[in-house]
């Protein structure tokens, strides 16, 4: 493959710290550490895909082994070491993919290889990509070498899932968290590459590329590659064509969709969705985009046009702002919860497209139910006649002017009102951590009780907010399950926050401490000492308190 035929992500891969996009501070920090000869035993780079983890790893390897030194690091005319590192074939710089070499035997081979000094460079360097995929035994085998390697040996790790790496490994590395690239910075970079490649692409298309790439330079360059080859001649690629190429649809579709849902126009809702589906949009992606537009409807007053990651333009911002003033917040929150529920259930259906259409139809009825329920709650409960007259004026479910249908509508809305009232009567009072555990027992939610007692350290509990720390054994679905149950039991939204503070010991830990103290006291008691005099081999196994005393 010649240099000119490379894909853009490889062609414009940074060769030194100065070429990095959005990671200048990290580059400067590493440059200074090498310059001052304060080089750590191991580097750990973490971040989303395409932000420069492996690229920076290679630049670090070059900066440590460049024949010209760190201050004259090769850029164009590469020395022998830099050229070999760039081509991934340097004898002293070993790149390993942990996804394909996960076992302890692979790491043992690596450690054995590390016993020999470098052949042609100053340092022997191991670059391990996706290091989180190593097995637990492999990590353990690596620990000693990682902590006290020979002076000539350096490790560079890269990962997208740093939480899967044992803390014992992380503590032995100098960790760098690579952030997503900011939208404007990525826009300027992609535009510069577009000009170098003489691509005919509008600024709106570049903004779309930035939006889809979500802060990943590699994703953005891959999309730009596709955009440039679409019209290799003089014709400019416009936004509509780009959306079809990338399988993306304009936010205006979703804005209109929400508007028609709120207006109860089922036919138009289905027409808009089918036009979106015909563009090749995956049903799951549609639901995620729908969640995004709901977020804008709910929070539009706290957002600025220039600060929303090119997600919506000026006209869309204005349109959402106007519509949101007429929408009850409760309707939007119900839509949000219902969409999340559909996302969880969509894999159960073989034809996901039909499932989405039914989801949208159900949203239409959900919006009317919520609005009518709110109206009924605002009225005087004692004036039943006025309530019925008001409700009869609402257009719900079926818009027919017959007394029978009106009576059905009133009955349906009355039932909703009665359900809301019943929920309020049956609300549980949870004012403390002890109350929470008690209700878990009463409701037979024993798995939640176990997690609360064994794996949760309480930091604070007040005003429907529970702040906790936890150990590594906590179930990954704990927060989701507890939030749902708290809402079910109290009819209130609770916040469960994670704290950096250690929190109180778990209930199991407290019980263990108390029991230990009881054992210690019992062993010193006169009764036990007398028993030991008679039976020297006696051993205290357990203690049971007399509940009658």
- In this structure, is residue 29 part of a structural domain? yes
Based on the domain organization, do 85 and 113 belong to the same domain?
yes
User: How confident is the model at residue 325, as a pLDDT?
Assistant: 85
Low-confidence ranges of the chain (pLDDT < 70): 1-5, 232-233, 304-314, 370-427, 523, 534, 538, 540-549
- 115 lies in a domain? yes
The C-alpha atoms of residue 157 and residue 132 are separated, in whole angstroms, by 9
Distances (CA, A) of 490 to 228, 247, 423, 428, 444: 56, 43, 8, 5, 16
Q: Rounded to whole angstroms, what are the CA distances from 146 to 92, 124, 153, 174, 185?
A: 17, 13, 9, 12, 36
Contact 133, 98 (CB under 8 A): yes
Token pair listed for 268: 């138009």
pTM higher than the cut 0.85:
no
Residue 154, domain CATH: 3.40.50.300
The whole-number pLDDT of residue 384 equals 44
- Residue pLDDT, tens place only, 131-167: 999 988 889 888 888 888 888 999 999 999 999 999 9
- Give the model confidence (pLDDT) of 296-350 as tens digits: 888 888 776 554 455 666 677 888 888 888 888 888 888 999 999 998 888 888 8
- Is residue 169 situated within a structural domain? yes
User: Residue 547 has which token pair?
Assistant: 């509940």
Beta bridge partners of 96: 128
Task: Please give the pLDDT value at position 29.
Answer: 92
- Residue 73, pLDDT score: 84
Per the DSSP assignment, residues forming a β-bridge with 124 are 153
Q: Same domain for 73 and 142?
A: yes
CA distance 218 to 354: 35
Residues 47 and 173 in one domain: yes
Q: Are residues 331 and 477 in the same domain?
A: no
Q: Are 221 and 197 in contact (CB under 8 A)?
A: no
Q: Are 15 and 152 within one domain?
A: yes
> Is position 440 within any domain?
yes
CATH number (domain holding residue 284)? 1.20.272.10
How high is the pLDDT of residue 353? 87
Q: 8 and 89: one domain?
A: yes
Same structural domain, 125 and 274? no
Exposed/middle/buried for 101, CB within 10 Å: 0-12, 13-18, 19+? middle
Total structural domains within the chain: 5
Shared-domain flag, residues 192 and 161: no
Q: Show which of 336, 351, 378 is a domain's final residue.
A: 378
CA-to-CA distance for 111 and 537, rounded, in angstroms?
A: 50
- Please report whether residue 520 resides in a domain: yes
Domain edge (last residue) among 162, 177, 192: 177
Nearest to 243 by CA among 227, 261, 222, 231: 227
Has residue 387 been placed in a domain?
Answer: no
Same-domain status, 159 and 230: no
Sign of the alpha-carbon torsion through 474, 477, 478, 479: positive
Q: What is the pLDDT of residue 499?
A: 81
**Are 160 and 62 members of one domain?**
yes
Is 162 domain-assigned?
A: yes
Q: What is the CATH number of the domain that holds 191?
A: 1.10.8.60
**365 and 270 assigned to the same domain:** yes
Torsion angle, CA of 386/389/395/396, rounded to 10 degrees? Answer: 70
Same domain, 201 and 164: no
Q: Of 177, 194, 225, which one is at a domain's C-terminal end?
A: 177
Instruction: Copy the structure tokens of residue 304.
Output: 């600025």
* Domain assignment of residue 395, yes or no: no
DSSP string covering 343-387, please?
HHHGGG-S-HHHHHHHHHHHHHHHHHHHHHHHHHHHS-TT-HHHH
Give me the domain span that covers residue 193: 183-246
């Amino acid at each position: 493959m010649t240099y000119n035929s490379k894909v853009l992500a490889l062609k414009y891969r940074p060769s030194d710290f100065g070429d990095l996009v959005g990671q200048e501070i990290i580059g400067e920090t590493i440059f200074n550490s090498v310059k001052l000869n304060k080089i750590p035993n191991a580097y750990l780079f973490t971040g989303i895909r395409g932000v420069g983890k492996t690229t920076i790893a290679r630049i670090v390897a070059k900066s440590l082994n460049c024949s010209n030194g760190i201050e004259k690091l090769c850029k164009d005319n590469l020395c022998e070491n830099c050229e070999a590192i760039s081509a991934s074939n340097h004898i002293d710089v070993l790149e390993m993919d942990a996804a394909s070499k996960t076992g302890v035997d692979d790491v043992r081979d690596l450690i054995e290889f590390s016993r020999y000094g470098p052949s042609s460079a100053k340092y022997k360097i191991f670059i391990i990509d996706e290091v989180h995929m190593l097995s637990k035994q492999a990590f353990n085998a690596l620990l000693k070498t990682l902590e006290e390697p020979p002076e000539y040996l350096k490790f560079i790790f890269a990962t997208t899932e740093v939480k899967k790496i044992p803390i014992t490994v992380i503590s032995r590395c100098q960790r760098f968290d690579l952030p997503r690239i900011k939208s404007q910075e990525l826009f300027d970079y992609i535009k510069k590459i577009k000009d170098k490649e003489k691509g005919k692409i509008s600024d709106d298309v570049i903004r779309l590329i930035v939006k889809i790439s979500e802060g990943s330079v590699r994703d953005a360059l891959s999309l730009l590659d596709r955009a440039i080859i679409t019209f290799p001649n003089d014709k400019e690629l416009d936004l509509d064509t780009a959306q079809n190429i990338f399988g993306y649809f304009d936010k205006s579709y979703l804005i209109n969709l929400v508007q028609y849902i709120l207006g109860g126009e089922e036919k138009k809702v289905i027409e808009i969705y089918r036009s979106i589906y015909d563009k090749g949009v995956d049903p799951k992606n549609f639901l995620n985009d729908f969640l995004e537009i709901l977020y804008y409807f709910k929070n539009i007053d706290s957002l600025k046009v220039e600060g929303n990651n090119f997600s919506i333009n000026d006209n869309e911002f204005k349109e959402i702002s106007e519509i949101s003033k007429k929408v009850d917040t409760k309707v939007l929150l119900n839509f949000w919860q219902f969409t999340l529920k559909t996302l969880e259930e969509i894999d159960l259906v073989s034809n996901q497209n039909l499932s989405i259409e039914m989801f949208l139809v159900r949203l239409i009825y959900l919006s009317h139910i919520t609005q009518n329920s709110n109206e009924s709650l605002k009225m005087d409960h004692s004036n039943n006649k006025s309530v019925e007259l008001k409700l009869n004026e609402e257009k719900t479910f079926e818009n027919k002017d017959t007394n029978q249908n009106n009576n059905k509508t009133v009955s349906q809305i009355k039932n909703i009102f009665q359900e809301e009232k019943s929920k309020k009567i049956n609300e549980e009072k949870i004012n403390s951590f002890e109350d929470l555990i008690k209700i878990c027992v009463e409701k037979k939610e024993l798995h939640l009780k176990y997690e609360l007692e064994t794996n949760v350290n309480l930091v604070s509990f007040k005003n429907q907010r529970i702040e906790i720390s936890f150990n590594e054994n906590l179930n990954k679905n704990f927060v989701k399950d507890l939030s749902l149950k708290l809402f079910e039991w109290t009819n209130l939204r609770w916040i469960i926050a994670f704290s950096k503070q250690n929190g109180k010991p778990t209930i199991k830990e407290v019980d263990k401490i108390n029991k230990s103290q009881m054992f210690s006291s019992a062993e010193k008691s006169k009764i036990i000492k007398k028993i030991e005099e008679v039976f020297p081999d006696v051993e205290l196994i357990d203690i049971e308190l007399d509940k009658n005393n």
